[in-house]
Chain A
């Protein structure tokens, strides 16, 4: 169990928490909705920084949006669909946070063509282990950018993510197919994966 929980209103408070933890030699972790698979959002006898208070979503361009790490993908979708845009890749569960999936790569039903969510993050603000607030992208502080994305929260704390968007389809058709044998299922899946127009595919 952690000793305490910070609900930061600003990146500056995240910096303060990191620097304080360094002086006290205690561990910290950032926590979104607590969906980590291996306890990465828990810290015994340390400080949890909850991203649930960093949820701002702000447009920066027609195809770019800034999101706080605690913003849920559902909230991102609501914001982007209002301008007929959508993130290229969405997790199956929209009630998890932007920071959470960017730390874990972020796979979804369009990943077979469009990659992971981290492939569509173009800039991050990160609080480093020393408590510095640094902006990074593929062109600026590239090593930090690459390490933090899908870094499982071990290489810095994301306090803002700039996400690339794409036009949202005006409508979608949902089709479900039931299979009793794996071979047919996989063969059809391979055909669908190459079909145009590209869609979203999931198999249960």
Chain B
């Protein structure tokens, strides 16, 4: 989980500007991991 968080942190620092919402919240990400 710590490694995962650091990867997400790296991703966040590289993100281009969006006109929309980009969410890293673990609860949202977990909800997107089920069908």
Contacts and interface: CB of A to CB of B under 8 A. Distances in A.
Given A3-B7, A20-B14, A31 B20 contact: no
Contacts of A4: 8, 11-12, 22-24, 29
Indicate the size class of the contact surface on chain B.
Answer: 20 to 34
Contacts of A1: 4, 26, 29-30, 32-33
Contacts of A31: 32
A53 interface: yes
Given A1-B29, A42-B33, A7 B11 contact: no
B2 interface: no
Contacts of B12: 4
B25 to A, nearest CB: 8
Interface residues of A, number: 32
Contacts of B14: 20, 24
B14 to A, nearest CB: 6
Contact of A16 (B11, B18, B24, B26): B18
A9 interface: yes
A69 to B, nearest CB: 14
Contacts of B20: 6-10, 13, 53
A12 interface: yes
Given A9-B19, A16-B18, A3 B33 contact: no
* Most chain A Cβ neighbours within 10 Å, of B18, B19, B30: B18
A37 B35 CA distance: 8
A26 B14 CA distance: 12
A31 B20 CA distance: 16
Nearest to A44: B33
A8 B22 CA distance: 8
B32 A3 contact: no
Interface of B: 4, 7-8, 11-12, 14-24, 26, 28-30, 32-35
15 contacts: A1-B26, A3-B7, A4-B8, A5-B23, A8-B18, A9-B20, A10-B20, A13-B19, A16-B16, A19-B16, A35-B35, A36-B35, A41-B35, A45-B7, A48-B29
The 4 closest A-B pairs by CB, nearest first: A1-B33, A9-B20, A48-B32, A7-B21
